Amino acid sequence: MSFHMKQQLPKITDKTLLRRALATLKYPLTEHQQPVEVRGYDREILQTRCELVVSRADTGLGADIGFHQEQDGSFTLVSDSYAIGNLSEIMTSLKRTYEEEKAIARAQTLGYRVASRGRWIQRGEEQYLQLIVRR
In a domain, 21, yes or no: yes
Tell me if 134 is assigned to some domain. no
pLDDT at 117: 82
Please check whether residue 135 lies inside any domain of the structure: no
Residue 36 in domain: yes
- Count of structural domains within the chain: 1
Give me the phi and psi of 96, to 5 degrees please.
-65, -45
pLDDT in tens, 39-61: 999 999 999 999 999 999 999 99
Q: pTM score, two decimals?
A: 0.87
Q: What is the dihedral of CA 13, 25, 127, 15, to 10 degrees?
A: -10
Q: Which domain holds residue 59?
A: 4-97
